[in-house]
Amino acid sequence: MKEMLWHKHKWPEQVKKSLDYPNEPLYGVIDRTADRYGDSIYTVWSSVGRTFAEVRDSANKIANFLFKQGIKKGDRVAIFLPNMPHYPAVFFGILKAGATAVTCNPMYTAGELNFQLKDSGAKSVFCLDHPKFTPITYEAIKKTDVKTVVVCNVKSFLPKMKAFIGGLLGKIPKSPFYEEDKTFFYDGIMANHEPVPPEVSIDPSEDLALILYTGGTTGTPKGAMLVHRNLYSNLIQIHEWVQLEIPEGSPPHRLKHGEEVFVGALPWYHSYGLTLTMIASAHLASRLVCIPDPRAGDPPLSDLLEEIQKQKGTILHCVPALYAGIVNHPNVNQYDLSSLKACGSGAAPLAPKLALDFEAVTGATLFEGYGLTETSPMSHANPSFKSTRKFGSVGLPIPDTYATVVDMETGETELPQGETGEIAISGPQVMMGYWNKVEETEAVFRTIDGKRYFLTGDVGHMDEEGFFVISDRKKDMVNVGGFKAYPREIEDILFEHPKIAMAAAIGVPRDDDPNNEFVKAFVVIKEGETVAPEQIIEWAKEKLAGYKRPREVEIVDSLPLSPVGKVLRRELRKTELEKRGRV
């Protein structure tokens, strides 16, 4: 790619600007690793490990099964599972059958799952054998094209004695009923099918590997269409980008094949957890610790901290809310988290103080990146060196990625460096478009300087060294007397208050001028601390310009979070407007 501003200042000298990408299907990741590291452990759950060879065989059996069920190239198969050891085999098995995976949030209601199954036209779905999740699946498949439900029980992934006793005592979760005419069992597939996938020709640049639905924050969820090459290229880009500093002063090195331990704390139905943890661990022939619920334990997150200590996790990708939970965990100093080396943060703004507090607790390096479902997901990242990262920014465009800032009205005019507008991205990781939504696809793409750019909906600017700074989502900007206040900036400042654990800011219409707004902040106070709203407002006067200062502060027990840990400002705003009688 041509020389850009971000290449001229703090671009890591060891990182190539342009890369070569394998021209093979995404499932080449598991095949390549199983060929070379077949006896190495891939998934770990409940102290039971499965090797790469075992996971590949399981994926091949699933592909064989799907083919015999009539699944053809291009058909959609849904995954309605938490982060369980079944997941990698199911995901790669779907791809080996020539089908397209549709990942579904395991916390969906029947109605939400029904929409996704119906919209994608899925013909099969994998779900967890569970008193809640299995019945939801049966309800959700009504009036859809789903003909096959594969029920996945946890028993085969438990230690033998624990599985035996759990079975005797009835403690292993299972559904209260099964619809026999359409139900198959994961264990039955493993027992009755050969590990021989069908022969399917895949064009990595054209054939879909994944339909991944956006969160629906701007309306009805849309399915981002990601081809094999989108996801594979992002793996290669990320591996090239992340370089670790050696304390002794030796040259930085990339993450090492066969030596890392990825902590699967983020959900794998989401692009962030799927690409950067589940698939990346297979690419690096490294262990994958399955964490179905990162907030489990008493106090919350205790189980996650215990698994990091026990499995000696080295790589952790989380959202800021989880990092804040770790930092503020009352017993965090009782856990040995020193094995952590490289930790990434994304999906929501990372407050600089939170990053420093986390590093003080663990000794790891925490750096912020940026991306979207539509970009597989990563498009930007801070250098993974403490000396060159830049707090408050989401970093530089990663190899082979072009990024620019365009006007917010048309998205067609590039703005000069330093000016604020909508961020647009072009690169091999950018999606093909939205599933069955031609108009929506056309609305988010522009051709600029001969390249196809995706309009992100995020507002920001590029600084003098090529680092990109996200101000906020277009829809979250607060209009204060004609000035634009950005919630992220306000929240970063509030995080600096010694007694605040979490914070969120929204715009509230003024009673005397509904077209004008003021800033209201919602804050969660650290355990054992007390502070009055008035004290926070007074404290903020020294930190923020007048139009950015919260006029109201409400202390709350918790903030509404999405399943991946994003603070849902829209929920706060909706509740606030309802309370004020404005809905």
pLDDT tens digits for 442-475?
999 999 999 999 999 899 999 999 999 988 766 6
- Residue 398 and residue 505 share a domain: no
What local confidence, expressed as pLDDT, does residue 216 receive? 43
Look at 30-34, 248-252, 284-288, 330-334 and tell me which has the smallest mean pLDDT.
Answer: 248-252
Is residue 95 pLDDT above 70, yes or no? yes
CA-wise closest residue to 196 among 59, 35, 28: 59
For residue 549, CA distances in Å to 83, 220, 491 come to 41, 33, 11
Is residue 127 pLDDT above 50, yes or no? yes
Q: Which band of pLDDT confidence, cut at 50, 70 and 90, is reported for residue 83?
A: very high
Label residue 92 left, alpha or beta by phi (over 0 means left) and psi (-120 to 50 means alpha): alpha
Q: Which band of pLDDT confidence, cut at 50, 70 and 90, is reported for residue 215?
A: low
For 334, phi and psi rounded to 5 degrees? -90, -5
The two three-digit tokens of residue 330, written as one number: 């009352």
What local confidence, expressed as pLDDT, does residue 218 receive? 41
pLDDT digits (tens, 9 = 90+) for 366-385: 999 999 999 999 999 999 88
- Residue 172 and residue 120 share a domain: yes
Q: Which band of pLDDT confidence, cut at 50, 70 and 90, is reported for residue 351?
A: confident
CATH of the domain at 267: 3.40.50.12780
Q: Which residue has the higher pLDDT, 536 or 568?
A: 536
136 in a structural domain: yes
What local confidence, expressed as pLDDT, does residue 206 receive? 98
- Residue 247 and residue 299 share a domain: yes
Q: What angle do CA 355, 230, 88 make, to 5 degrees?
A: 75
Q: Which band of pLDDT confidence, cut at 50, 70 and 90, is reported for residue 166?
A: low
30 in a structural domain: no
Is residue 545 exposed (0-12), middle (13-18) or buried (19+ Cβ within 10 Å)? exposed
Q: Which band of pLDDT confidence, cut at 50, 70 and 90, is reported for residue 23?
A: very high
Is residue 316 pLDDT above 60, yes or no? yes
CATH of the domain at 546: 3.30.300.30
Cα torsion 192, 198, 204, 208: sign: negative
- Residue 366 and residue 400 share a domain: yes
Is residue 122 pLDDT above 80, yes or no? yes
Share of the chain above pLDDT 90, in %: 74
- b/e code 305-334 from CB counts within 10 Å (16+ = b): bebbbebebbbbbbbbbbbbbbbbbeebee
The length of the chain is 583
**Across 168-194, average pLDDT:** 91
C-alpha to C-alpha distance for 56 and 26, rounded to whole angstroms: 13
C-alpha to C-alpha distance for 530 and 538, rounded to whole angstroms: 15
What local confidence, expressed as pLDDT, does residue 81 receive? 97
Share of the chain above pLDDT 70, in %: 94
Instruction: Tell me whether strands 378-381 and 396-397 are parallel, antiparallel or unpaired.
Output: antiparallel
- Residue 462 and residue 481 share a domain: no
Alpha carbons within 13 angstroms on the beta-carbon side of residue 24 total: 10
- Residue 15 and residue 85 share a domain: no
Helices (H), 422-563: 438-443, 487-494, 533-540
Domain count, the chain: 3
C-alpha to C-alpha distance for 366 and 245, rounded to whole angstroms: 13
Is residue 164 pLDDT above 70, yes or no? no
- With contact defined as beta carbons under 8 Å apart, do 308 and 299 qualify? no
What local confidence, expressed as pLDDT, does residue 292 receive? 95
418, 442, 471 - which closes a domain: 471
- Residue 178 and residue 128 share a domain: yes
**Residue 132: its H or E element:** none
The two three-digit tokens of residue 444, written as one number: 């988010």
What local confidence, expressed as pLDDT, does residue 248 receive? 62
What local confidence, expressed as pLDDT, does residue 6 receive? 97
Q: Give the count of beta carbons closer than 10 Å to the beta carbon of residue 92.
A: 30
29 in a structural domain: no
**Across 114-125, average pLDDT:** 97
The per-residue DSSP string of 346-388 comes to -SSPPPHHHHHHHHHHH--EEEEEEE-GGGSSEEEE--SSTTT
Is residue 169 pLDDT above 60, yes or no? no
Alpha carbons within 13 angstroms on the beta-carbon side of residue 518 total: 12
pLDDT digits (tens, 9 = 90+) for 470-503: 887 666 767 776 566 778 778 888 988 999 999 9
- Residue 228 and residue 188 share a domain: no
pLDDT digits (tens, 9 = 90+) for 381-426: 999 888 899 998 999 999 999 999 999 889 999 999 999 999 999 9
405, 436, 471 - which closes a domain: 471
pTM of this structure = 0.84
Q: Which band of pLDDT confidence, cut at 50, 70 and 90, is reported for residue 217?
A: very low
CATH of the domain at 160: 3.40.50.980
**Across 81-99, average pLDDT:** 98
pLDDT digits (tens, 9 = 90+) for 42-68: 999 998 999 999 999 999 999 999 999
Is residue 214 pLDDT above 90, yes or no? no
**Across 271-276, average pLDDT:** 95
32 in a structural domain: no
Alpha carbons within 13 angstroms on the beta-carbon side of residue 179 total: 15
571 in a structural domain: yes
- Quote the domain boundaries for residue 399: 5-21+218-471
- Residue 483 and residue 455 share a domain: no
For residue 18, CA distances in Å to 7, 241, 245 come to 11, 11, 22
119 in a structural domain: yes
C-alpha to C-alpha distance for 183 and 279, rounded to whole angstroms: 28
148, 168, 203 - which closes a domain: 203
C-alpha to C-alpha distance for 571 and 579, rounded to whole angstroms: 12
- Residue 462 and residue 318 share a domain: yes
